[in-house]
Structure 1
Amino acid sequence: MDAIAYFNIILRLAIWFLLTADFSLANIIIGVTIAFLLPRRWTSPEPLREWIKVLWKTVVAIPQAYIEAIQIMLFPHNEEEIVREKVKPNRTPGLIFLDIFLITFTPKTIVVKYHQRGWYEVHRIRRKISDQ
């Protein structure tokens, strides 16, 4: 197995544990079994460098999510907008999924729609800065 295959299995296990929130031995066995049994797409493998970038962005997104949650609780965020964000070129379905996950993970943004033409529609909330 190459490094990308390991990343795919780790990603599947991470999603399993996020969904179940159960680290019992039985659940670990079920998660590992499902991670190996889910069908794989045999497309061109993502470069290892892209996976490492996305995994680093995931690590950075965790404290960012807490900061944004605190900001929402302390200050009113009453402006909304839907913006289009361009998908990075040559993204495989696995990396597109992770991009959508990262955008949606933070409390101030959520992906509303993915366009096959290479765009995400992202709903954002932000603080309205009063004009004085």
Structure 2
Amino acid sequence: MIAVLDLFLKLTIWFLLTADLSLVNILLGLAIALILPGKYSVASQLKDWLRVLGEVLLAIPQAYVEAVEMMLWPHRYEEVTMEQVKPNRTPGLIFLDIFLITFTPKTIVLQYHENGWYEVHRVVRRKKP
């Protein structure tokens, strides 16, 4: 089941990059997704994938709320924080975590550190005291 989710993630990224759902592009994307390496030393669990996919669905309305907040109330300050990667994350799950952080308008991942940290930039309404 995890292999199917990894394949689905690779195909989704392919379709987002190409913006083409023609039969030829689907077959090409499938071929590329199957050729890309997919075996990782850390085994991801189905519950992790389902949780992250649920978070992706929740991030969509959150992004709209944050965009409206930024239009109504200026966010004039910014901060850079470090967030730790959750344990036992495969590269696919790390990518989805970065996508979730970057998807909302107030945050963006500046850098992923190989030792298990994300460097996250945020815009905020007020400075912390």
Give the TM-score taking structure 1 as reference length. Answer: 0.86
Once the two structures are overlaid, the 10-residue window that deviates more, 63-72 or 12-21, is 63-72
1:38 deviates by: 1.3
Report the 3-state secondary structure (helix = DSSP H, G, I; strand = E; otherwise coil) of the residue aligned with 1:90.
Answer: coil
Partner in structure 1 of residue 33 of structure 2: 35
| Shift >3 Å, 4+ stretches | none
Partner in structure 1 of residue 58 of structure 2: 60
Following superposition of structure 1 onto structure 2, how do residues 117-132 of structure 1 map, counting pairs within 5 Å?
A: 117-128=115-126
RMSD of aligned C-alpha atoms? 1.7
Gap regions ≥5 residues in structure 1: none
- Cα gap change, 1:72/1:12 in structure 2, threshold over 3 Å: closer, same or farther? same
Identical columns (%): 59
Gap regions ≥5 residues in structure 2: none
1:97 deviates by: 1.6
Which amino acid in 2 is paired with 1:59?
L
Partner in structure 1 of residue 49 of structure 2: 51
Residue 74 of structure 1: which of 72, 75, 91 is its match? Answer: 72
Residue 83 of structure 1: which of 78, 81, 88 is its match? Answer: 81
Distance in structure 2 (CA, Å) of the matches to 1:42 and 1:128:
42
- Cα gap change, 1:38/1:7 in structure 2, threshold over 3 Å: closer, same or farther? same
Partner in structure 2 of residue 116 of structure 1: 114
Give the aligned length. 127
Which amino acid in 1 is paired with 2:87?
P
Report the 3-state secondary structure (helix = DSSP H, G, I; strand = E; otherwise coil) of the residue aligned with 1:76.
Answer: coil
